[in-house]
Amino acid sequence: MDTITKEEIANWFKGLQDTICNSLESLDGKAKFKEDKWDRPEGGGGRTRVIKQGNLIEKGGVNFSAVSGPTPEKILQALKLDKADFFATGVSIVLHPQNPWVPIIHMNVRYFEMSNGTWWFGGGIDLTPHYVIPEKAKNFHQHLKDTCDKHSPALYPKFKSWADDYFYVKHRNETRGIGGIFFDRLSDADGKTKSDQWKFVQDVGETFIPAYTDAVKGLNEKLWSDTDKDWQKIRRGRYVEFNLVHDKGTKFGLDTNGRTESILMSLPPEANWEYDHQPTTELQKQTLKALKKGIDWVK
């Protein structure tokens, strides 16, 4: 019988936040995280950690939260749940780089349970390059495939396809980036134990630093032009559109009276929206062609 408690899960997520923040400070070499602890009036709270104006990261956050209380009616209806109290904990990360050649990265790993016994895990990692470089995309997806394959060879294609569908800017008819993996409501319904699902989520969380380190390697030193910076801001605009229009995590946080500053930490420091913008370089054109579902990056 599984004896994993919500307190044990939350404490591990706190440790993951610590480990990732320490690793990112070393990788950046200049900027340090500033912590902002907060409490939620209805129950729980979190630790928001923000880093900015570094050698690598222009703005980023690594957030931990553990919130609880009566489940808001909006959440009950959206998730088709019976009325009961909830507990939700996890770590959420978004990093916006200085250099347009370096990609945006996002990760979320989370746990949700209710007082009526309902529980599940969710999460994922995805990469949003301003310029899609096939070799880097392949390497990133290989990290995720290797992690998934430790548990089952069926997981990567399933969760990769899920990410393609989830991280999709419908009104633009393009994916947010090159995707990654996405999963939700992992419970014991598919024959896995709670320990099985928890171990998988832990492995995903520990994949973040090696995957991001490889994604950054060799790119942060590349010189960029004003054209590159302008393109970065346009692509950041697409990122903002997804997060504010489609992202379920943003909606969940706002609907549960989460801390707005922490929820909107995912937004970049600067973004542009230019009317009817068209790509001006061949690499920009190739990048747009790569923003579609179903690309096999690890073939």
How many C-beta neighbours within 10 Å does residue 298 have?
16
Q: Answer yes or no: are the C-beta atoms of 136 and 222 closer than 8 Å.
A: no
> Choosing from 96, 106, 130, 141, which is the catalytic residue?
106
Give catalytic status of residue 106 as yes or no.
yes
Calculate the CA 62 to chain-centre distance: 10
Which residues are CB-contacts of 23 (< 8 A; sequence separation ≥ 6)?
209
Which residues are CB-contacts of 104 (< 8 A; sequence separation ≥ 6)?
94, 95, 96, 97, 127, 128, 129, 130, 177, 236, 239, 268
Rounded-to-integer distance, Cα 20 and Cα 179, Å = 21
Rounded-to-integer distance, Cα 141 and Cα 178, Å = 9
Residues found in the chain = 299
Question: Long-range contacts made by residues 146-149, C-beta under 8 angstroms, separation at least 24?
Answer: 147/203, 147/204, 147/207, 148/181
Rounded-to-integer distance, Cα 246 and Cα 168, Å = 8
Q: Tell me how far CA of residue 44 lies from CA of 37, 82, 85, 260, in angstroms.
A: 11, 21, 13, 15
Calculate the CA 252 to chain-centre distance: 14
SS3 151: coil
User: Encoding tokens for residue 22?
Assistant: 């320490």
User: Encoding tokens for residue 50?
Assistant: 């923000």
Catalytic amino acids?
106
